[in-house]
């Protein structure tokens, strides 16, 4: 074996600016010329760790949503409630991973009854528009009349379960997971505007309904904007609750 073959080839690292592979001992990138500082390299590694963590959260979430939507076994009340508990637990666990920072989002800063009433009015109005537009699309375009949460029909306490699973738990735990953990993580990786758009698109996808994307994306964008503007989760939780409760009452009545 030659002397050259005995030499270890150092593991390449990405440039902190352009991402090109460079020798870890190089102070400058040969591709773009950017200086490679230890702090930049550490931050790049931290961002990559955050992205992998966020990807795991989303894979778990969309996997469970897919089971709930397309597997008959999970269309029974016990299994449906089990998945609801697992989804809620997933949101809580990931939110708690960076508890020291994320707990600040649970403080209701600058509480205002006027803001609360305004957000409620917007949510209810949006729910009306979505209900009638989706019904029109389903009947006129797809020739079907969908009824959500039909698995609860005829069961004891059906109204309570529908309100709990439609309005209460999604408003609390989806906000905790998507506008709490996921959006807060994406803000560390990219700028706030891009983070809001990415989290909104990912939120819309988990509902696994192509026809609903036209309102799910604006819905998630609005809540993301509220979360950034108000620097708290609670206005978004209340908005989400009012929207879902209105949709739920349409379903019950």
Strands (E), the chain: 13-14, 21-22
| pLDDT over 70 (residue 126) | yes
Give the least confident one: 4-8, 79-83, 169-173: 4-8
Q: How far apart are CA 225 and CA 59, in angstroms?
A: 24
Q: Work out the average pLDDT over 105-118.
A: 93
Separation CA 186–CA 194 (nearest Å): 8
Q: Which range, of 71-80, 160-169, 172-181, averages the lowest pLDDT?
A: 71-80
Residue 28 has pLDDT above 50, yes or no: yes
Buried b (16+ CB within 10 A) or exposed e, 196-212: bbbbbebbbbbeeeeee
| Residue 59: pLDDT over 80 | yes
Q: With a cut of 60, say whether residue 183 has pLDDT above it.
A: yes
Average pLDDT value over all residues in the chain: 85
Q: Are 194 and 207 in contact (CB under 8 A)?
A: no
More confident: 229 or 156: 229
Where do the H-state alpha helices sit in 137-175?
A: 158-163, 169
Q: Who's near 181: CB < 8 A, 6+ residues apart?
A: 54, 57, 91, 94, 95, 97, 98, 102
In this prediction, residue 7 carries a pLDDT of 43
Name which residue leads in pLDDT, 112 or 142. 112
Question: Averaged over 148-173, what is the pLDDT?
Answer: 82
41 to 53, 102, 219: CA distances (angstroms): 19, 25, 37
What is the average pLDDT across 12-19? 69
What pLDDT, on a 0 to 100 scale, did the predictor assign at position 156? 77
Predicted pLDDT at 146 = 57
pLDDT at 216: 95
Specify burial of residue 38 (Cβ count, 10 A radius: 0-12, 13-18, 19+). exposed
* Position 106 pLDDT exceeds 70: yes
Q: What CA dihedral angle connects 211, 168, 223 and 93, to 10 degrees?
A: -100
pLDDT at 223 over 70: yes
| pLDDT at residue number 85 | 95
Measuring CA to CA, which residue among 250, 68, 99, 82 is closest to residue 184?
Answer: 99
Sketch the domain layout of the chain as residue ranges.
44-252
Q: Is the pLDDT of residue 2 over 60?
A: no
């Amino acid at each position: 074996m030659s002397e050259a073959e005995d030499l270890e080839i150092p593991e390449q690292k990405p440039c902190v600016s352009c991402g090109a592979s460079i020798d870890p001992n190089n102070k400058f990138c040969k591709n773009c010329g950017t200086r490679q500082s230890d702090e930049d390299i550490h931050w790049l590694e931290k961002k990559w760790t955050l992205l992998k963590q966020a990807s795991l959260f989303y894979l778990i979430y969309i996997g469970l949503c897919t089971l709930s939507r397309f597997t008959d076994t999970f269309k029974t009340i016990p299994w449906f409630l089990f998945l609801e508990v697992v989804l809620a637990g997933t949101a809580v666990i990931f939110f708690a991973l960076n508890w020291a920072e994320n707990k600040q989002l649970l403080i209701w800063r600058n509480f205002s009854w006027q803001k609360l009433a305004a957000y409620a009015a917007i949510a209810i109005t949006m729910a009306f528009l979505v209900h009638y537009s989706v019904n029109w699309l389903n009947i006129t375009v797809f020739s079907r009349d969908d009824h959500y949460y039909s698995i609860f029909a005829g069961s004891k306490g059906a109204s309570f379960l529908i309100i709990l699973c439609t309005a209460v738990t999604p408003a609390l735990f989806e906000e905790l997971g998507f506008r709490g953990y996921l959006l807060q993580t994406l803000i560390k990786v990219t700028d706030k505007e891009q983070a809001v758009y990415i989290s909104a698109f990912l939120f819309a996808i988990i509902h696994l309904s192509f026809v609903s994307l036209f309102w799910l994306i604006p819905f998630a964008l609005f809540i993301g904007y509220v979360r950034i503007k108000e620097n708290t989760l609670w206005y978004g939780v209340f908005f989400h609750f009012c929207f879902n409760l209105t949709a739920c009452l349409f379903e019950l009545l």
